Amino acid sequence: MEERTRQPGSGSIPGGDRRLPVGAEVMPSGGVQFRVWAPRPRRVEVMLQSGPGAPGSVPLKAEPDGYYAGLAPSAAAGTRYLLRLGGPDGPRVPDPASRYQPEGLDGPSEVVDPSAARWTDRNWRGIRSPEGQVLYELHVGTFTPEGTWAAATAQLARLAELGVTVLEVMPVAEFAGEFGWGYDGVLLFAPYHGYGTPDDFRRFVDRAHALGLAVILDVVYNHMGPGCELYKQFSNEFFSTMHKTEWGDSPNFDGPGSESVRAFILANAGYWIDEFHLDGMRIDGTQALFDTSPEHILGAVARRMREAAGGRRVLAVGENESQHVRLLRDAGRGGLGLDMVWSDDFHHAARVALTGLREAYFGDYLGTPQEQISALKHGWLYQGQWNLRQGKRRGTPAWEIPPWAFVNYLQNHDQVANSGRGERLHDRTTRGRLRAVTAMLLLGPGTPLLFQGQEYADPAPFLYFSDQKPGLAEEFDRGRKESLAQFASLATDEMKRLLPFPADPDVFHRSKLDPSARARSPHAEVEQMHRDLLRLRREDPTIRAGVCPGAVDGAVLGPEAFALRWFDPEGAGEDRLMLVNLGIELGLKVAAEPLLAPPEDRGWRVIWSSEDPRYGGCGTPGPETEEHNWRLQGHSAVVLAPAPLPAEVDEHRDPVGTP
């Protein structure tokens, strides 16, 4: 990063010439201003621990609405500090708005000057358009053996060449312990110290932009993890007294004192976009963001993200188990303004088809060809039907939502880990079936998401790991086993004994990717298939246009077989046809299905096959012959394009009207 720039601040906010309403900020005129929301203690002091200006203390002056602020003239970037609450004998704690915790959650906070960052992405304009993207979910701690931003940065060129366009980074807010998934973050402004410095994160984003990759961050605003008791020392109103999530206390978005809590969260949303040049966010568990305010916090977060981005286009993605279409409608229609939502329905239906297992929530699906077709065409499969397992209606009608607004996936952090052993999908189904469904994912009209290592079938598992103190570690283990007990096979005594202990460091290390596998068979063949499919998605104009509403249709051909057809948006007859068969070989002597018909005066030719020997397949005979009509290989998928008819066939075709 060579070009030194200071990004625009967050506009008119409490606290004067500041980027954020809270935290430690290096002032243009010198020194560091500290500001904190602390209506509970009667006094707040900044204790300078080391670095410029240390040792020393700075009493903060009370401001309206429970804020305290003050200037430390001799402090600067690199100063480490703690906040002392209530007087000389009061607790010394980190800053809730700390930008960096070099010694971990319980250590001192460090002053960071974001204006000193040297960016080279002046010409980066963000995500041009939400449609047509390919997402890639990664966990910084396990994405490379080193588990750092620097090591991850070295892998970005490979992902860009593969065809990925958006990196979705799992949560990085500072959490307790030496390893974890990140969904139990505590200090929301501080990138986890174990991955490197904040500037290492900035260099990661800067390099991604240079390669044409956008970066979005997974954020958790519905709860905080162990250590969140810190906030209760500053305020009795930070957490809600009316709402509680299954993971812990819910931030107070709509009760007394919620104005400052909302300001804290909205500042965080703008902070990541502004100071790290991020291109959007994936917001975890939105169904657990409880808010009865006139403007729901989720809509406010989406708005704040876009304000902070200025002229850049950012991507707002949500996870929503209840499948509520309000998330995807704009504010003018009473919506919350998100661009995309994850689609569990696609994953669950495909997973049943691939493995035959229907435990727990998979029991809501049959894995039929019609489910695959409907998930691709309409996004959610549950749009208001009664769900017997849940004992209520699930989902809302989403007919007006374009298919690209649904993020489809075959693997993600939750679903891989929920297998108990952390097995990836290539260990739970046949290679042929997985190649076929991968084609459906990567060429389909939804927005595809790959989970780290999926593109080459990495042999490492991805397990649930969370480093917690004794006592709490056992509590996390019990909670994990209770959650997995919904799967009958994992509730057996034999499997309970085999489930890994989340706080075991070996569980974390076993989950790290093995990059050396990429060069070995069959991993290299799997990566080649992903590269070819993403190139076809990107370069074939008909498939590329499939993200538009109504551009793709489908038909069931057999018990485990179906067809998908992409219609040429130019009307020139350059349609594409995909045949997927997840069962045994299927012959169609009767082909009374119009989607199988080629464009007028043309036939079909194979342009891609999951049985290509380069992918480990066994070759592909033409699926349509005059002798057999249609023949669909078992556990396979082919993509067809129109082709001229042989001359001898064309000579025998009678023109319309010939007697």
Cα R_g (the chain), whole angstroms? 27
Helix, strand, or coil (residue 416): helix
Burial label, 656 (beta-carbon count in 10 A; 0-12, 13-18, 19+): exposed
Amino acid type, 645: L
Q: How many CA atoms lie within 13 A of 333 on its CB side?
A: 9
The amino acid sitting at 215 is V
Return left, alpha or beta for 147; rule: phi > 0 is left, psi -120 to 50 is alpha, else beta: left
| Catalytic residue of the set 121, 279, 291, 319 | 319
Which residue stretches of 403-522 are H helix? Answer: 413-417, 431-443, 472-484, 493-498, 505-510
Measured CA to CA, the distance from residue 344 to residue 333 in angstroms comes to: 25
Among candidate residues 457, 398, 452, the one with its CA nearest the CA of residue 426: 457
| 560 classed as catalytic | no
DSSP 8-state symbol, 468: -
> In terms of C-beta density within 10 A (0-12 exposed, 13-18 middle, 19 or more buried), how is residue 480 classed?
middle
The CA distances from residue 281 to 171, 514, 602, in Å, are: 10, 27, 46
Distance CA 425, CA 251 (A): 36
Question: Does 319 qualify as catalytic in the annotation?
Answer: yes
Of residues 284, 291, 344, 611, which has the active-site annotation? Answer: 284
Residue 100, by phi and psi: left (phi above 0), alpha (psi -120 to 50) or beta? beta
d(CA 236, CA 38): 9
Burial of 123 (0-12, 13-18, 19+ CB in 10 A): exposed
> d(Cα 459, Cα 452) in Å, to the nearest integer?
11
**Pair 3, 122: CB distance under 8 Å:** yes
Question: What is the rounded distance in angstroms from the CA atom of residue 132 to the CA atom of residue 540?
Answer: 12
Contacts of 512 (CB under 8 A, 6+ apart): 141, 142, 144, 145, 147, 460
Q: Are 624 and 598 in contact (CB under 8 A)?
A: no
- Are the C-beta atoms of residues 329 and 335 closer than 8 Å to each other? yes
What amino acid positions are annotated as catalytic residues? Answer: 284, 319
